[in-house]
Amino acid sequence: MATIREVSRLAGVSIATVSRVLNGASTVAHPTRERVLAAIATLGFKPNAFARGLATNRSGGIGVTVNEISSPYFGAFIRGVEQVVRAEGIHMMVSSGYATAALERASVDFLLERRCDGLIVQSDALDDEALIELARDGDTPVVVFGRSVAEIGSSCVVLDNELGGSLATEHLLRHGHRHIGHIAGPLSYADARDRLMGYRRALVAAGIAFDDRYVVESTFLEEGGAEAAAHLLERAPDLTAIFVANDQMAAGAMRTLRETGHAVPDDISIIGYDDVFLARYLTPTLTTVRQPLVEMGRAAADLLLERLDGERREVVHRFDPELVERQSVASAVR
Amino acid sequence: MATIREVSRLAGVSIATVSRVLNGASTVAHPTRERVLAAIATLGFKPNAFARGLATNRSGGIGVTVNEISSPYFGAFIRGVEQVVRAEGIHMMVSSGYATAALERASVDFLLERRCDGLIVQSDALDDEALIELARDGDTPVVVFGRSVAEIGSSCVVLDNELGGSLATEHLLRHGHRHIGHIAGPLSYADARDRLMGYRRALVAAGIAFDDRYVVESTFLEEGGAEAAAHLLERAPDLTAIFVANDQMAAGAMRTLRETGHAVPDDISIIGYDDVFLARYLTPTLTTVRQPLVEMGRAAADLLLERLDGERREVVHRFDPELVERQSVASAVR
DNA sequence: TAGAACGATGTAACCGGTTTCAGGAAAGCG
DNA sequence: CGCTTTCCTGAAACCGGTTACATCGTTCTA
């Protein structure tokens, strides 16, 4: 692999001049520049990113941690980030934390060690203090995705999950349902707590007492949704609708209902959350609450870039979810 | 951010000794080691990856290029790679090429510039020559995923797509179908060509002449599958079964069939390919051909690691697809 | 025409690690 | 007790870029 010195020798200039050509910074006379470019081409020279990083203390890349890289949910988010970042010629390193505090810590440390110029952190397991410390103390700008931490609010990009929970529940109320169950995600996740909160708020606003027999905590996974639905049917046999805290669990719940002879939506209505890809393929297609994940990914990247280059951009910090009506909700008959 | 010199000063040793402690290589007296570790801890020292990379010319990471990072298909593959690599304490950088030659080239160059220790390339747009040159000429070991290039066969991890095409077609033949359509992927992709080849071979082996009116080339996307199915119904109205070259197009085809009043599988049987996540959620659930993507990702990583550390491992280069029977295929009635 | 200003280029210090080689102290040997 | 061997440690050269500063030849201004 050729170095800048070999290029300089071939072009008959000093290494400083080659460096100047590479970075386009200072003025280089036209013929000289041409000679250097020719030498670069013939040698197939590629600047060594380590040497450059060592000298500038910048990597030209940002780091992103997500729960799980292979999930369609995070895929959409990553895609949004990549759209913005690629357009600026910046690179992205992704690391999965699998919702485990130790692994998430390791991911963050790993990315910091690589001297990422900035970090977008989607974390389920780290506590607020850890995030605050990260965002405040480090010299690396940090944007937090999907969690609202008051102390560093201006670094957060979030969805209003409580609003989403209300939207879903109100939709069921509008269809005349009064006995509405809720399959929640793990309540250790703020997302799950907020959705539950929205559900509760909507019920109370409609004059219906909150009853925790109608609520089951589960896993955000399909299997968990299937089991939770079975519990719910047992504990609250009179329910006519269920708000499920994500689409994956909704798919599982629908399977259980089908297997136990409950028609969806004729006997029981189902509403999901996320509007992942899958929602359109279930039978019946799933009414759900959409998160604009790609847009949110873009917003997170924009926010980080703003921190990096100091240029102000229009950044939305809080996104509103949106109801997507499909076939899995019908009017209550009883 | 503390440097190795500050650590050495605090511990009262030289930077060489600190370096030795960091790498565990040479012998360091026990009390000295303790002092150094204590200094590292109090300063919160993290070695600078650039400086280390510059000195060793290794990054401690591998690069992976895929078509599209946010697709569930590639997600599964990446996950397999990550499983292996994480266990070895190696890091992974992913870059998307979006099936565009220029972007794929840029991804590869980008990763090479970062001095990845090795590369796993999943490429749809680069031609064989480019891959051969990459695998042969560079000093960075390269593994090619999902394409069989004869000249560098020992560096490839592939699925036998022709076998997969045969499996699917034979399954339909066994159910008594004689008029079998095929919705192919873009024939610029080797995958798509091989699946078509398998379809053709199975037909001929069953004594049925290959008829290209029964074949439509499409896009590997849902919308393409929907359109292709419409064409196919027009050109070959007597068909009783369709082998679709991936599940996404199969979902589209099923939509068209439903909309045009053809029952699946009673009027027309459908078989897909890939066994992505989605296949289990379609109605009827989709009979398909499974690619063991996670395992293949692991194999690709194992192969690369073998190149990197010279240690021999058991590596499978060619995987066999597997039929997954669900509900979308029925016996031919006519 | 002398002196200042400017544009193009080169020299060398620096970024923060790794690693070779040399040297000093302690231990082993005759 | 002197000499070799072994073990541990330090000095300094590197890795390949960036960049502050120096230099030199031109051109512009008075």
Query: What tens digit of pLDDT does each residue of A67-120 get?
Result: 887 777 888 898 899 889 888 878 888 888 887 888 898 888 888 888 889 999
C-beta atoms surrounding B251 within 10 Å: 24
pLDDT tens digits for range A245-298: 999 899 999 999 999 999 999 999 999 999 987 888 888 999 999 999 999 999
Cβ distance B173 to B199 under 8 Å? no
Question: How do beta strands B322-324 and B288-290 pair?
Answer: antiparallel
Q: Does A59 touch chain B (CB under 8 A)?
A: yes
Q: What is the 3-state secondary structure (H, E, C) of chain B?
A: CCCHHHHHHHHCCCHHHHHHHHHCCCCCCHHHHHHHHHHHHHHCCCCCHHHHHHHHCCCCEEEEEECCCCCHHHHHHHHHHHHHHHHCCCEEEEEECCCCHHHHHHHHHHHHHCCCCEEEECCCCCCHHHHHHHHHHCCCCEEEECCCCHHHHHHEEEECHHHHHHHHHHHHHHCCCCCEEEEECCCCCHHHHHHHHHHHHHHHHCCCCCCHHHEEECCCCHHHHHHHHHHHHHHCCCCCEEEECCHHHHHHHHHHHHHCCCCCCCCCEEECCECCHHHHCCCCCCEEEECCHHHHHHHHHHHHHHHHHCCCCCCCCEECCEEECCCCCCCCCC
The answer to whether A61 touches A90, Cβ cutoff 8 Å, is yes
Asked if strand C contacts B49 at the CB level, meaning under 7 A, the answer is no
Residue in A with minimal Cα distance to B60: A114
Sign of CA dihedral A118, A123, A126, A128: positive
**Residues of chain A neighbouring B72 (CB-CB closer than 8 A):** 70, 72, 75, 277
Domain B161-291 belongs in CATH node 2.60.40.3500: no
Interatomic separation, CA of residue B7 and C1' of nucleotide D8, rounded (Å):
19
Question: Do A75 and B75 lie within an 8 Å CB cutoff?
Answer: yes
Q: How far is A202 from chain B (nearest CA, A)?
A: 31
- Minimal Cβ distance to B115: which of A49, A69, A281: A49
What is the per-residue pLDDT across B3-23, written as a single tens digit (0 to 9) for each? 999 999 999 999 999 999 998
Using alpha carbons only, what angle is made at residue A235 by residues A267 and A194, rounded to the nearest 5 degrees? 85
- State whether A46 and B278 contact (CB < 8 Å): no
Is residue B155's pLDDT more than 80? yes
**Of A150-154, A264-268, A308-312, B68-72, the least confident:** B68-72
Q: Which residues of A touch B69 (CB under 8 A)?
A: 69, 75, 78-79, 82, 94
Q: Give, in Å, how far the C1' of D26 lies from the CA of A15.
A: 24
| Residue type for position A127 | D
> Would you state the structure tokens that stand for residue B82, as one six-digit string?
């990550």
CATH topology for A57-159+293-320 is Rossmann fold (3.40.50)
Which member of B54, B91, B110 has the closest CB to residue A110?
Answer: B91
Q: B57-159+293-321: which CATH architecture?
A: 3-Layer(aba) Sandwich (3.40)
C1' of C21 to CA of B16 (Å): 13
CB A307 within 8 A of CB A141: yes
A93 shares contact with chain B (CB less than 8 Å): yes
Mean pLDDT over each residue of chain B, to the nearest integer: 91
Any atom of strand D under 7 A from CB of B41?
Answer: no
Q: Is the pLDDT of residue B277 over 80?
A: no
User: The tokens of B142 are what?
Assistant: 């390269």
Distance CA A174, CA A196 (A): 18
Query: How many Cα atoms are found within 13 Å in the side-chain-facing hemisphere of A46?
Result: 13
Q: Please report the pLDDT score of residue A334 as a whole number.
A: 55
A138 interfaces chain B, CB cutoff of 8 Å: no
Question: Are B65 and B119 in contact, with CB atoms under 8 Å apart?
Answer: yes
Chain A CB contacts of B109 below 8 Å: 46
A108: phi then psi, degrees, rounded to nearest 5: -60, -45
| pLDDT at position B148 | 84
| Mean pLDDT for the stretch of residues A54-58 | 91
Integer angstrom CA distances of residue B113 from A59, B20, B100, B144, B168: 12, 28, 20, 19, 43
Smallest Cβ–Cβ distance between A281 and the set B54, B95, B251 belongs to B251
Whole-number Cα distances in Å, A247 to A107, A179, B293 = 27, 21, 24
Beta strand ranges found along chain A (DSSP E): 61-66, 91-96, 118-121, 142-145, 156-159, 180-184, 215-217, 241-244, 269-271, 288-290, 318-319, 322-324
Domain-by-domain residue ranges, chain B?
A: 4-47, 57-159+293-321, 161-291
B59/A54 Cβ within 8 A = no
Confirm or reject contact between B110 and chain A (CB < 8 A).
yes
User: What is the predicted pLDDT for the residue at A312?
Assistant: 79
Give the single-character DSSP code of A263: -
- How do beta strands B322-324 and B156-159 pair? unpaired
User: Is residue B141 a contact partner of residue B308, using CB atoms and an 8 Å limit?
Assistant: yes
Query: Do B320 and B255 contact (CB within 8 A), yes or no?
Result: no
Choosing among 1.10.260.40, 2.40.50.140, 1.10.4080.10, 3.40.50.200, the CATH entry for B4-47 is 1.10.260.40
Rounded to an integer, what distance in angstroms lies between the CA atom of residue A97 and that of residue A81?
18
Residues A167-179 have a mean pLDDT of 97
What DSSP designation does A261 have?
A: T
- Any CB–CB contact under 8 A between A96 and chain B? yes
**Looking at beta carbons, which residues of chain A come within 8 Å of B286?**
none
Work out the percent of chain B whose per-residue pLDDT is above 70: 99
Q: Quote the tokens at residue A232.
A: 């719910």
For A68, nearest residue in chain B (alpha carbons): B79
Amino acid letter, A247: D
Closest CA to A168 of A289, A2, A319, A54: A289
Distance from B172 to chain A by nearest Cα, in Å?
A: 24
d(CA A43, CA A1): 8
Contact status of A283 with chain B (Cβ, < 8 Å): yes
Q: pLDDT at position B334, please?
A: 56
Judge if B4-47 and B161-291 fold alike in CATH terms.
Answer: no
Pick from B42, B40, B36: nearest CA to B12: B36
Report whether pLDDT(A300) > 70: yes
| Alpha carbons A207 and A131: distance in angstroms, whole number | 38
